């Protein structure tokens, strides 16, 4: 499958669904629309798990802003440009990947499906799409690496208040064969998530999402008894060491020294932070507001993207997430300078609905939509997509071109 991207993944997907529909009278079980997908996941999940995935910080103004930001732009389809074969491949931090998408780090997947991250990793591997394994996963990074086999995986690091645990996670990720470390900077503490507060729900207190910690030698050294004997004490220790709000940019230099793998920072929204991160030697960054889960009424990730690309785009790989739902969203982010996007909640909903199959279907739909949108906007490769693909919505004045102010 992964090798097919250079041809016509979108057309192949359409042929598959239409022939199934017309010849076998079978329609897809996983809805193609994000809104219906979310509704189906709500149906499949208990109230707590659904609230945990769908919810955001405070009034959830950032969650809404992340979506509305895409409405400020319009794609301008171009004609007669020979788009018979599309090359979706991208180079990210020196590695080549078949398409400009990766599955975002999403922790605690056991609340969505019993197979948790193992299912998501299998689906990602089948499609050749990088899987980003969360520190807060329900399955260990080693078990997930085994599912991935030769397929690409990156490790998302939550920087623990215990430096030995942080160093140990990085070392384990290297040994397990992950291709990059993505350190998330926007979660020194958890945000105020009203839905979860209302339900009094935090999955970690149930012992979910702590597999990497409970299996970690440095973490286990902190405990009087092993987690198998005293899980409650181990959970409280996890809560104590999960984040480190005292970190500064100097600490990032320490992390840079811990690994030769490409290092990316996730959660960057200000160009000054982007520049500072590049000065610390990171290879890339993820422009993201954590899907609106941390700060209510924060800047939408898409609004933050162009200025960050302008500042550091030549010096670092720039990834984007927060609000990507459909192919057109990805093409807009690419046009604004992202090198690739992370796909988040949609695949989590696929997992909730139908495990590995659900993740694969949702991700394949997204890839197909992305490929077709590229073709229909006149691009035969991702590398070809730039600001000329876009105009500002509503205020577009052809005489002012794509750079018109809005
Ligand atoms: C996340 N996200 C996240 N990020 C991270 O760095 N480590 C993590 O463990 C998690 N866990 C997590 C759980 C759930 C349920 C969600 C929805 C999100 C954030 C994630 O990587 C990504 O930034 C957002 O999902 C992007 O927003 P959208 O596009 O999913 O709305």
pLDDT > 80? residue 82: yes
Pocket of ligand 1, beta carbon within 6 A: 52-53, 104-107, 134, 136, 156, 184, 266, 288, 290-291, 321-324, 342, 344-345, 348
**Eight-class DSSP state of 105:** P
pLDDT > 50? residue 166: yes
Q: Evaluate whether 2 touches 88 at the Cβ level (below 8 Å).
A: no
Residue of 210, 292, 293, 305 to mutate, ligand 1, most atoms within 8 A of C-beta: 293
Predicted confidence band of residue 8 (pLDDT cuts 50, 70, 90): confident
Taking CA atoms only, the protein residue closest to ligand 1 atom 31 is 291
Cα dihedral 363, 364, 367, 368 sign = negative
Residue 84 alpha carbon to ligand 1 centre in Å: 35
CA-closest candidate to residue 286, choices 237, 244, 334, 341: 341
Atom of ligand 1 nearest to the CA of 288: 23
Say what the pLDDT of residue 404 is. 46
pLDDT > 60? residue 62: yes
36 CB neighbour count, 10 Å cutoff: 12
Three-state DSSP state, 137 = coil
Predicted confidence band of residue 396 (pLDDT cuts 50, 70, 90): low
pLDDT > 70? residue 297: yes
**Alpha carbon separation from 53 to 38, 88, 193, 320, 323 (Å, rounded):** 10, 29, 11, 19, 13
Residue 292 alpha carbon to ligand 1 centre in Å: 9
Taking CA atoms only, the protein residue closest to ligand 1 atom 1 is 106
- The pTM (predicted TM-score) of the whole model is 0.97
Atom of ligand 1 nearest to the CA of 52: 15
Instruction: Name beta bridge partners: 183.
Output: 157, 265
Taking CA atoms only, the protein residue closest to ligand 1 atom 10 is 106
Say what the pLDDT of residue 328 is. 98
Residue 148 alpha carbon to ligand 1 centre in Å: 20
Say what the pLDDT of residue 92 is. 98
Residue 220 alpha carbon to ligand 1 centre in Å: 26
Among all residues, which ones are annotated catalytic? 290
Q: What is the pLDDT of residues 176-197, one digit of tens each?
A: 999 999 999 999 999 999 999 9
Atom of ligand 1 nearest to the CA of 136: 9
Residue 341 alpha carbon to ligand 1 centre in Å: 13
Taking CA atoms only, the protein residue closest to ligand 1 atom 13 is 106
**Alpha carbon separation from 49 to 59, 170, 236, 268, 335 (Å, rounded):** 19, 29, 21, 27, 34
């Amino acid at each position: 499958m992964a090798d097919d991207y250079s041809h016509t993944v979108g057309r192949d997907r359409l042929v598959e669904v239409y022939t199934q529909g017309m010849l076998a009278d079978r329609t897809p079980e996983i809805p193609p629309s994000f809104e219906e997908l979310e509704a189906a996941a709500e149906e499949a999940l208990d109230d707590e798990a659904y609230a945990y995935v769908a919810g955001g910080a405070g009034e959830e103004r950032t969650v809404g802003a992340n979506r509305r930001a895409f409405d400020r732009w319009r794609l301008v389809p171009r004609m007669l440009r020979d788009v018979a074969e599309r090359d979706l491949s991208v180079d990210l931090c020196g590695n080549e990947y078949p398409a400009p998408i990766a599955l975002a780090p999403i922790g605690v997947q056991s609340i969505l499906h019993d197979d948790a991250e193992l299912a998501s990793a299998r689906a990602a591997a089948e499609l050749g799409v990088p899987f980003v394994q969360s520190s807060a996963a329900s399955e260990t990074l080693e078990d997930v690496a085994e599912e991935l086999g030769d397929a690409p995986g990156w490790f998302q690091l939550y920087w623990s208040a215990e430096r030995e645990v942080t160093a140990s996670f990085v070392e384990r990720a290297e040994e397990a064969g992950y291709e990059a470390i993505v350190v998330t900077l926007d979660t020194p503490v958890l945000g105020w998530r009203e839905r979860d507060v209302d339900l009094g729900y935090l999955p970690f207190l149930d012992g979910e999402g702590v597999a990497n910690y409970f299996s970690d030698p440095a973490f286990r050294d902190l405990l009087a008894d092993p987690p198998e004997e005293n899980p409650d004490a181990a959970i409280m220790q996890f809560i104590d060491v999960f984040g480190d709000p005292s970190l500064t940019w100097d600490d990032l230099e320490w992390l840079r020294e811990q690994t030769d793998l490409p290092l990316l920072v996730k959660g960057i929204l200000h160009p000054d932070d982007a520049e500072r991160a590049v000065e610390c030697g990171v290879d890339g960054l993820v422009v993201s507001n954590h899907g609106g889960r941390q700060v209510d009424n924060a800047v939408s990730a898409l609004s933050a993207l162009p200025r960050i690309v302008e500042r550091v785009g030549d010096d670092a790989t720039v990834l984007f997430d927060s609000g990507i739902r459909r192919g057109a969203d990805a093409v807009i982010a690419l046009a604004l300078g992202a090198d690739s996007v992370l796909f988040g909640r949609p695949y989590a909903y696929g997992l909730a609905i139908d495990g590995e199959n659900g993740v694969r279907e949702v991700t394949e739909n997204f890839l197909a939509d992305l490929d077709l949108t590229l073709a229909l906007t006149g691009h035969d490769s991702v590398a070809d997509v730039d600001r000329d693909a876009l105009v500002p919505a509503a205020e577009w004045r052809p005489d002012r071109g794509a750079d018109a102010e809005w």
